[in-house]
Structure 1
Amino acid sequence: MSKFTAAAIQMRSGVDPKKNAETFEALVREAAGKGATYVQSPEMTGAMVRDAEARQAAFTTQDKDLMAATAARLARELGIFIHVGSTAIVREDGKLANRALLLSPQGRIVATYDKIHMFDVDLDNGESWRESSAYEPGTQAVVADLPFAKLGFGICYDVRFPQLFRAEALAGANVITAPAAFTRQTGEAHWHVLQRARAIENGAFMISAAQGGRHEDGRETFGHSIIVDPWGKVLAEADHDEPGVIVAEIDTALSAAARGKIPNLKNAREFSVGSVTAGEGEPLRGAAS
């Protein structure tokens, strides 16, 4: 089976996990009502909490997590795969992971992925983030074998690291993902080109559910959840930052077709990088004499 209906749900998660779980449930039900058998939510679906003390109160271990339990119940009831784009999970060592969860139609967690690349940046207008101060980075890429696709995982900032998705594509992924809470500043500049580039260069579908709007903890995210085909065509997009659902029909045979036309995964070659220093006083080509 190569065809399925995919949905990305756009949210504006607040600081209260219970309210977020209720919104998540309503949107998942809407997506399933539109025929989706795979539903993805954004990064930090469970709660968007910037304050360190509040994070300690809001988050717990995976076995006690409200979002994980809600997703399991809905997946089982609706008979669909649910991909919680990520939620904060307390690890066995007490540190926090920014973790994606994939739930089967039986309600079982069949795959998890901890975000590898931490969003430690200093942007214009004084906007600064240090994700590594709150979360422990993951160390392993993940590809899940679904009945209708091979699914590669990423989360938000991971999308800027093409080597992650290339490794997943080489491992067989024909659908790759980067559910996100992109800042408005970076989203306006880079969101669309990054999503389309990862799809094109890997000959894979790209599905990225997003957070959108101004959140209770003060941050502002870009929205624009998106589904892109392996040729770079946008199949569905939320052209706003409001909560909602987008849906697209996916045929993974198109991934094989794209890779057949441009077999860059096969054509890649090993190479080394040399470093040279131009001699002092050496004339530059085109310089006036």
Structure 2
Amino acid sequence: MRAAAIQLNATADVARNLERADTLVRAAAADGATLVVLPEKWVALGDDDAMRAAAQPLDGEAATWACATARELGIDLVAGSFGELVPGEDRTRNTSIHAGPDGEIHALYRKIHLFDVEVDGVAYRESDLETAGDEVVVSATADGVGLGLSICYDLRFPELYRLLALRGARVLVVPAAFTLATTRDHWEILLRARAIENQCFVIAANQIGEHPPTYRSGGRSMIVDPWGVVLGVVPDREGHVIADLDLAGQDRVRTKLPALANRRPSAYRWPETAEVQG
């Protein structure tokens, strides 16, 4: 299987972002990718007003484009994430869809962990605009390869990825808009850790550059193999990275170093409450 991660510099201009996404996805498909992953918030990235204005229902322009493009190109397309308007809800959802080569939505994932933090003096409060999801989602490519869906800040929660692997994921996808500072210091380490501990491929598509009003993303979109080896990285610009996923090699890793099979769930006792200080 040949896979690609798309790196995009999204702004508040929805039309521009759709055009760039279309160009980059077609370039990846022309390079032979049959699985393509877009970044988080590829439809629009800006302040809360811009994000509200760009939010769309599941039958809106973004999802319609993703399904039509996946069908036309004959690919599995994980359309990063976009602000989803949900009937009856005041807040949007940060939603990723997996569109198959049949032009249908095969899976829908709503970001579980919302980014309410401060980085480099900039406050991020996704919960002011968005409602968190509560469902772990595994999909499958047209060839039957399990896809574990996640979005950005989810990367810091290893229990999610273990569940994805135990539910059959062989490839973990991470659409993201990781900040410049956290990309520099944490991004690759976290991606390689999730790959190694779950013996999965990781396809991580990050935003790059400046976004309104004062946001900056760090790029370095990459594909990592189940041994933790980085197979390729996008340079510091819009573009894509391509890699062939050796599924037979993944089987060998899981057989010779059977960490998943050696788990002892009966010994894992979660505390009833989490005592976290600081």
What percent of counterpart residues are identical? 42
Structure 1 residue 217, shift from structure 2 partner: 3.0
Write the mapping of 1:1-289 to structure 2, written as runs, cut at 5 A.
Answer: 4-51=1-48, 53-64=49-60, 66-94=61-89, 95-123=91-119, 125-146=120-141, 147-240=143-236, 242-269=237-264, 270-272=267-269
1:78-121 CA-to-partner distances (Å, cap 9, x unmatched) read 11111111111111223211011111112111111001001111
TM-score, length-scaled by structure 2: 0.92
Aligned partner of 1:36: which letter? A
Aligned partner of 1:141: which letter? V
TM-score, length-scaled by structure 1: 0.89
Distance 1:159 1:43 in 2: 13
CA RMSD of the aligned region, Å?
1.4
Aligned partner of 2:66: which letter? A
Larger radius of gyration: 1
Give secondary structure in 2 for the equivalent of 1:259: helix
1:123-178 CA-to-partner distances (Å, cap 9, x unmatched) read 3x422211111111110111112215110011001010000010010111111111
Change (3 A) 1:45 1:273: closer
2:176, 2:206 within 8 Å by CA — same for their partners in 1?
yes
Distance 2:144 2:7 in 1: 23
Structure 1 residue 17, shift from structure 2 partner: 1.2
1:48, 1:217 within 8 Å by CA — same for their partners in 2?
no
Structure 1 residue 266, shift from structure 2 partner: 1.7
Distance 1:111 1:217 in 2: 32
Aligned partner of 1:33: which letter? A
Structure 1 residue 273, shift from structure 2 partner: 6.9
Aligned partner of 2:47: which letter? R
Aligned partner of 1:171: which letter? R
Q: 106-115 or 211-220: which moved more?
A: 211-220
1:159-213 CA-to-partner distances (Å, cap 9, x unmatched) read 1000001001011111111110000011111001000000000000000111000
1:43, 1:86 within 8 Å by CA — same for their partners in 2?
yes
| Equivalenced residues, count | 267
Change (3 A) 1:108 1:271: closer
1:215-244 CA-to-partner distances (Å, cap 9, x unmatched) read 23321000000100000000111132x100
Change (3 A) 1:271 1:58: closer
Give secondary structure in 2 for the equivalent of 1:268: coil
Structure 1 residue 77, shift from structure 2 partner: 1.1
Q: Which runs of 4+ in 1 moved over 4 A?
A: none
Change (3 A) 1:200 1:217: same
